[in-house]
Amino acid sequence: MKHKKPTVAVYKFSSCDGCQLSILNMEDELLNLADAIDIAFFLEATRAQRPGPYDIAIVEGSITTPHEIERIKEVRAQAKTVIALGTCATAGGIQALRNFADADEYANVVYAHPEYLHYLKTATPIAEHILVDLELWGCPVNKAQVIEVIVALLNNRRPNLPPHSVCLECKRRNTTCVIVDKGIPCIGPATQAGCGAICPAMGRGCYGCFGPAREVNTNSMAAMLQKLERYPGETVRLFRGISGYAPTFRTIADEVLSTSKEAK
């Protein structure tokens, strides 16, 4: 018996388009994928649009405007399964740096007429607004992981995503630890695997774009990183970066900041 192909809608919120592009970058798999699923809405790829409901909604980007709060609720209402795709959707992304500052001041810096703009003071992950069924981290997401998630959904099984940190990926590719060997600050030990440990392989530290790994000892890491800083405040900036609004990273950055202020 032939099953009906699941309908898929791909949406963009506040983001750079890089995670959607990861879907278009599946050059070897795209045509097969288009056979297995029914792409009903994907503005970056096609003009053709069919109305919901959809089986799967894939959402890129974070929520940064009043209108986006309304739109994301419509997405949820139209979809059986919602996947948050990429670090903007799962943690707010780089634009969530406004959450640690005054967004109005930023608007004044960038725009001559901030009164023309509609924005929220915060950039927040999708799960702060609706129920999200599955989060896939990465800035950008790893396309092999996107394929794994879609294949798992099509086969009604749990996707096989690595639970460990970037450290294990370094070991697998035989990269010597940049912290131990060169004293380069790296937050790979606290960061979810998935990228393939590309930064340490280039001789630089991980900057956490796949978000925090589970159960990591960020306190001990922060203490070590502070001894390795190449410029004042590097530890805070490493955690408060692409995934800076993710709770684990947010907490440790706040703690380091408050202790260093006390020390002064």
Contact residues for other proteins, defined by CB under 8 A:
12-22, 24-25, 27-28, 30-31, 34, 39, 43-49, 64-65, 67-68, 93-95, 97-98, 101, 103, 105-107, 109-113, 116-119, 123, 139-140, 195-196, 198-199, 201-204, 207, 209, 231-234, 237, 241-242
59 — phi, psi (to 5°)? -115, 120
CA 102 to chain centre: 22
State both tokens at 169. Answer: 């990926």
Which residue from 70, 68, 62 is spatially nearest to 123, judged by alpha carbons? 62
The Cα–Cα gap between 69 and 168 comes to 38
55/169 with CB nearer other proteins: 169
44/74 with CB nearer other proteins: 44
The angle subtended at Cα 142 by Cα 43 and Cα 29, nearest 5°, is: 65
CB of 32 to other proteins, least distance (A): 11
CB of 215 to other proteins, least distance (A): 26
CB of 148 to other proteins, least distance (A): 17
33/252 with CB nearer other proteins: 33
- List residues bridging with 96 in a β-sheet: none
Q: 250 — alpha (psi -120 to 50), left (phi > 0) or beta?
A: alpha
CB of 158 to other proteins, least distance (A): 26
Contact 60, 13 (CB under 8 A): yes
State both tokens at 57. Answer: 């909604």
CB of 17 to other proteins, least distance (A): 4
133/201 with CB nearer other proteins: 201
48/263 with CB nearer other proteins: 48
CB of 103 to other proteins, least distance (A): 7
Task: Please return the burial class of 89, using the count of CB atoms within 10 Å of its CB with bins 0-12, 13-18 and 19+.
Answer: buried
The Cα–Cα gap between 163 and 171 comes to 15
3-state secondary structure of 23: helix
12/250 with CB nearer other proteins: 12
Contact 83, 145 (CB under 8 A): no
76/204 with CB nearer other proteins: 204
The Cα–Cα gap between 247 and 126 comes to 14
CB of 243 to other proteins, least distance (A): 12
